Amino acid sequence: PYDVLVVGGGPAGASAAVYAARKGIRTGIIAERFGGQVMDTMGIENFIGTAYTEGPKLVASLEEHVKEYGIDVMNLQRAKRLEKNDLVEIELENGAVLKSKSVILSTGARWRNVNVPGEAEFKNKGVAYCPHCDGPLFEGKRVAVIGGGNSGIEAAIDLAGIVKHVTVLEFAPELKADQVLQDRLHSLPNVTVITNAQTTEITGTDKVNGISYVSRETNESHHVELEGVFVQIGLVPNTDWLDSVERNNFGEIVVDRHGATNVPGVFAAGDCTNSAYKQIIISMGSGATAALGAFDYMIRN
């Protein structure tokens, strides 16, 4: 069996595997797609110590670092079942069952899409999902935020300090965000809020040039000219297959400060957990925490 088996090959999983392997213990990584969300990222400007890099380049150096330690990398393999007996068992989609003394879950998350024409086409060409990451690319420009929940309104407030103008489009008749956030939003001079707005299309030629929506009150169609669209309608953790592991209302795995879950020997890190913020550097830190937590667990059991 493995000592530490990491499920997920994004920054959290890579970090966890390196920290585990450096203890001289048998470590493996199962990844549906090594690199995770970072593979879909263009410019990265907030990976501290590196002023600028690109997703695939960062993934290549993660892979190189992992390979330094003789970690078993099982790429293009999807885990579908976890069971705790004496050891923790992980069953893969292909039927194989792997056993390990401890497991670190780092299966990440995915942004919920609005699924309108233009969204996929203009991804990274004006369509963005992470204001902390991509906000500065729209300095002085006009953007829309789709979604009036907490993350949408936080994004709108954040962006209003950088961009020229923000239009918030909310499907429901009112914003869902906390009142303090709404108050702060309404105090800003360069924000327009449109409720009852059903986004129908993100328009553009080679990059985004506008957004179309239908008013659910009047049935009229409208078009707003702008350069960027931030989709903020939720982040979905990849955790539906984990029925025995405690998750919160958002489906995020609940971890303690050692990265431990409710199942003894099972740890978790990164965007699949209830961490407050979801970023590369944060997921790497929590991957390190989970690996050290798993090591502590093993020397006691």
Residue from 21, 38, 73, 163 in contact with ligand FAD (CB under 6 A): 38
List, in order, residues 6 or more apart from 69 with CB less than 8 Å away.
17, 18, 21, 22, 27
Of the residues 28, 108, 135, 152, which one makes contact with ligand FAD according to CB under 6 A: 108
Q: Does 11 bind ligand FAD (CB under 6 A)?
A: yes
Distance CA 122, CA 129 (A): 12
- Give the one residue of 130, 211, 253, 294 binding ligand FAD; rule: CB under 6 A: 130
Rounded to whole angstroms, how far apart are CA atoms 23 and 8? Answer: 20
CB 245 within 8 A of CB 267: no
What is the DSSP code (8-state) at residue 243? T
Minimal distance in Å, beta carbon 238 to ligand FAD?
4
Q: Judged by CB under 6 A, which of 27, 100, 102, 106 binds ligand FAD?
A: 106
Least separation, in Å, of the C-beta of 65 and ligand FAD? 14
Closest CA to 301 of 4, 8, 29, 30: 4
- Structure token pair of residue 175: 């914003």
Nearer to ligand FAD, 33 or 184 (CB): 33
Task: Give me the numbers of helices (H) and strands (E) for the chain, helices first please.
Answer: 6, 19
Per-residue x/- track, 241-270, ligand FAD (CB under 6 A): x----------------------------x
Task: Single out the residue of 4, 6, 10, 199 in contact with ligand FAD (rule: CB under 6 A).
Answer: 10
Strands 27-31 and 2-7: parallel
Coil, strand, or helix at residue 162?
Answer: coil
Distance CA 75, CA 90 (A): 15
| 101 makes contact with ligand FAD (CB under 6 A) | no
Q: Which two tokens stand for residue 121?
A: 């086409």
d(CA 74, CA 221): 49
Shorter beta-carbon distance to ligand FAD: residue 108 or 228: 108
Binding-site size for ligand FAD (CB under 6 A) equals 38
**Minimum CB separation from ligand FAD for residue 52, in Å?**
10
Q: In the range 72-91, which residues lie near ligand FAD by CB under 6 A? A: 78-79
Binding site for ligand FAD (CB under 6 A): 7-13, 30-34, 36-38, 40-41, 44, 46, 78-79, 106-109, 111, 129-130, 133, 238, 241, 270-271, 278-281, 283
